[in-house]
Chain A
Amino acid sequence: MQWLPPQASTYAGDIDFMFWVILVITGIAFVVVEAALLVFLIRYRHRPGRRAHYTHGNTTAEVIWTAVPAVTMIALGIWSGRVWAEIKDRDRMPTDAFEVAIEAKQFEWTVTYPGPDGVLGTSDDFAVRNQLHVPVNRPVKIHLTAEDVIHSFFVPEFRIKQDAVPGMTIPVWFEATAMGQFEIGCAELCGLGHYRMRGVVTVHADDDLDLWLSAQTADEEAGT
């Protein structure tokens, strides 16, 4: 049996906390309801000569069990909305981020890096298949799109998932908190190779990333 994967991004903890809050609330509701069900089944089981209590309801009870879930649910909704906005609100995304572009296509991720000028969308950009290299402890902003069908960019340890849709460029960000390698999965059925549309994120220390980036550009120059 699995539990939530290790956390490796700044907001992984916020999402997991929300998960645990909901688990506790729903856990209490689950235990209360199932226990009541079992107790009633045993206590009020049929016995010869018994007769059920004749009642059509109780307004006080019904008001309580309407109000309690209503207040709980709306509170959960408002709280969730705040966490959500911090992660996905497009007006609130970090501005000082390391930016890359990812184009998903059957069945690979093409990652485009800014070249030596550090700016995306210029002629010195270079692209690498299925390899996303990012700095640790610095926001990373991805301009996500798809060439053919819908895919979904998913890194379990970062708790990030975002569909990549042809015809749209969707901004998505994360800030990795641990160095190392993590898998990128495709979470939207995208055709017969969907199950093997796997990429890798490598989280580097800042200096390391610069080394890797310049090595790539050097390779490109050597190759041309």
Chain B
Amino acid sequence: MTTAAGHGQADAGHHGLSFVRKYIFSTDHKIIGIQFLFMSLFFLLVGGLMAMMIRWQLGYPGQPLPGGGGLPETMAPGGVILPEFYNSLVTMHGTFMVFFAIMPLLVGVYANYLIPLKIGAPDMAFPRINMASFWIAFVAGLIMLAGFFVAGGHAAAGWTSYAPLSARPDLSGVHMGQVLWLVSLIVLGLSSILGALNYITTIINMRAPGMHWFRMPLSIWSLFITAILVLLAMPILSGALIMLLFDQTLGTSFFSPPEGGQPLLWQHLFWFFGHPEVYILILPAMGMVSDIIANGSRKPIFGYHSMVYAIAAIAFLGWLVWGHHMFQSGMNPMLGTTFMISTMVIAVPSAIKTFNWLGTLWRGNIRLHTPMLNALAFVSMFVIGGLSGIFMASTPVDIFIHDTYFIVAHIHYVLFGGSLFAIFAAIYFWYPKMFGRMMSERLGKVHFALTFVFYNLTFFPMHFLGMGGHMRRIYDPSEYEFMQGMQGTNTLISIAAFLLLASQAPFMWNFFWSLWKGAKAPDNPWEDNGLEWTVPSPPPHGNFAKTPTVYHGPYEFASPLVTEDYLPQSRPVPGAGGRAAS
């Protein structure tokens, strides 16, 4: 801890930094977190706009996209979306949302911003590597965007880029777009690996005195375990991407059968990365939601230790379930049974977490502030996404619903209903700390209510499309007789999706308006216990004037030892010195 304290004092003297060093090439973890926030919110909007174009084509097949007249002939002549552009949209919506929006929003933003502040450290262990991690991700984003402007269009083999379609330009019509897709993700992987190394090192070595492992907030536990998953999973993806890049450019054939390649190899590699990735996209959300639900309930988190063990169990089992994406792939069906059992088992720690959140609400004193509303939406929507996953996990049921809209509904209940509501909760909760201003609660609640309603109207009906057999990634469903009767549902979903995007206007207004006009934020607006709330909003470079000492767990709400209903981790109270008991 002495090195940490020494580092803090050294950094505290760095206030004379130029604008460029302070806000652009900054090594301050808080600025880097905020840079990630702006970048990934931009990509969230990009991904959202692509979803609107997809929904236009599905809601009103073959009709010119309003305002789409400006798109080039190769994408949408006269505003009518072409099949090849539709496939690019489907591919890039998934790619941007997974790799450039949800993942950096959770890991880039909140691991960076929260880890040092919540464990009582002045900065990350490797501030310059941290800066590199952001700028590498930024370059990856530019490369990914560039794919829209090359001949042949952007990658169009789905965000999972199944080979040989993704490996053979002669079969997909796409070469440069796919190459840029691959290069961008290889570059992004480097950024993620550097970030993960930093988070792990920081948490292991730079916790303030008294911040025992079992006094860490669940947000930090989940980010720590997520960082381990990133560190182990990303190199697998990078390896697979490099092999596919060789197939694309150097004439190798890892994944093309005529020369002895094996298409299923790509799927095994992709999903061996991809399933841990699914948990990378949800564990930090679970952790932050746990912090916010305890705060909103004014009550210690129920079953703190089992929450930690559940995160660890999910992370471990997450490595043993990748084959459930491949039940119908031609993989030996008996192997499918093994993967089904491990998949069924992984539902158990998720159930534990859900029940513990309910246990936290039970006999609480619940404050429904905007972060809490979004955290509760996370719980209620994650339940739907988790339960719908059981249908796909059951191998015989999966035969029918695999690659239908049922899985589209499922993934959006987990990633939008789950991760994105948690991200909204986190933005509303930590915004005052990040920017020193409060967001408007009234606009926040309007945004929450509209988003919750139109989100469900958009994604819930997709379950019924899936039950009807509606396949995914179909440019024009009316080609099939059995899907013609589903046009009404598709149009309804599209209208709800447009309104869902429109519902983000109050959020955007609130976010930017509050930057300048929001009420000044006090140090601890939510009366929380975390160390980040003991420093000014926003915290100065180096965070803590003096390295804090931690005396108890992070969830000492309603403690009988104090008159307030919260007890900051750094406030010594006789008798409350023990760790959060289970």
Contact with B along A1-28 (1 / 0, CB 8 A): 1111100000100110011001101100
Residue of B nearest to A83 (CB): B396
Contact with B along A49-77 (1 / 0, CB 8 A): 01111111111011001100110011011
Contact call A52/B394, Cβ cutoff below 8 A: no
Q: In the complex, which of the residues B156, B343, B393, B475 contacts A195, with contact meaning CB atoms closer than 8 Å?
A: B475
A153 to B479, CA, bound (A): 16
User: Which B141-185 residues have a C-beta within 8 angstroms of A?
Assistant: 156-158, 162, 164-165, 168, 171-173
Of the listed stretches A37-45, A114-122, A128-136, A210-218, chain B binds A37-45
Given the known inter-chain contacts A149-B171, A167-B257, A189-B157, please indicate yes or no for A18 contacting B396, CB distance below 8 A.
Answer: yes
Residue of A nearest to B162 (CB): A150
A163 contacts which chain B residues (CB < 8 A)? 328-330
Looking at chain A, what size class is its interface with the partner chain? 35 or more
Residue of A nearest to B167 (CB): A149
Q: In the complex, which of the residues B84, B387, B399 contacts A192, with contact meaning CB atoms closer than 8 Å?
A: B84
Verify if A89 is at the interface (C-beta below 8 Å from B). yes
Shortest Cβ gap from B117 to chain A (Å) = 24
Contact call B467/A4, Cβ cutoff below 8 A: yes
A89 to B303, CA, bound (A): 42
Contact with B along A180-208 (1 / 0, CB 8 A): 00010111111111111010000000000
Residue of A nearest to B266 (CB): A150
Shortest Cβ gap from A145 to chain B (Å) = 10
Given the known inter-chain contacts A30-B383, A37-B358, please indicate yes or no for A84 contacting B333, CB distance below 8 A.
Answer: yes
Verify if B557 is at the interface (C-beta below 8 Å from A). yes
Verify if A156 is at the interface (C-beta below 8 Å from B). yes
Contact call B387/A195, Cβ cutoff below 8 A: no
Shortest Cβ gap from B362 to chain A (Å) = 6
User: Which A159-175 residues have a C-beta within 8 angstroms of B?
Assistant: 159-163, 165-168, 170
Given the known inter-chain contacts A194-B473, A195-B474, please indicate yes or no for A73 contacting B364, CB distance below 8 A.
Answer: no
Verify if B472 is at the interface (C-beta below 8 Å from A). yes
User: Which B229-284 residues have a C-beta within 8 angstroms of A?
Assistant: 256-258, 261-264
Contact call B303/A62, Cβ cutoff below 8 A: yes
Contact call A56/B581, Cβ cutoff below 8 A: yes
B456 contacts which chain A residues (CB < 8 A)? none
Q: In the complex, which of the residues B157, B164, B403 contacts A187, with contact meaning CB atoms closer than 8 Å?
A: B403
Verify if A110 is at the interface (C-beta below 8 Å from B). no
Verify if A223 is at the interface (C-beta below 8 Å from B). no
Contact call A161/B396, Cβ cutoff below 8 A: no
Contact call B264/A165, Cβ cutoff below 8 A: yes
Contact call B366/A195, Cβ cutoff below 8 A: no
A189 to B164, CA, bound (A): 11
Contact call A195/B400, Cβ cutoff below 8 A: no
A65 to B257, CA, bound (A): 48
Which of A25, A53, A150, A198 has the most B CB atoms < 10 Å from its CB? A150
Contact call A159/B306, Cβ cutoff below 8 A: no
A143 to B353, CA, bound (A): 45
Contact call B394/A80, Cβ cutoff below 8 A: yes
Contact call A22/B344, Cβ cutoff below 8 A: no
A138 to B33, CA, bound (A): 63
Shortest Cβ gap from A127 to chain B (Å) = 21
Q: In the complex, which of the residues A22, A55, A73 contacts B397, with contact meaning CB atoms closer than 8 Å?
A: A22
Contact call A2/B352, Cβ cutoff below 8 A: no
Q: In the complex, which of the residues B90, B304, B347, B365 contacts A56, with contact meaning CB atoms closer than 8 Å?
A: B304
Contact with A along B324-335 (1 / 0, CB 8 A): 000011101110
Listed by A's residue number, 14 A-B pairs whose Cβ atoms lie within 8 Å are A3-B467, A15-B399, A33-B354, A37-B376, A44-B366, A46-B298, A52-B298, A59-B582, A65-B355, A66-B351, A73-B345, A74-B341, A88-B395, A163-B328
Q: Closest 10 A-B residue pairs measured CB to CB?
A: A167-B257, A2-B468, A156-B469, A53-B363, A52-B299, A88-B333, A26-B387, A84-B395, A73-B344, A57-B303
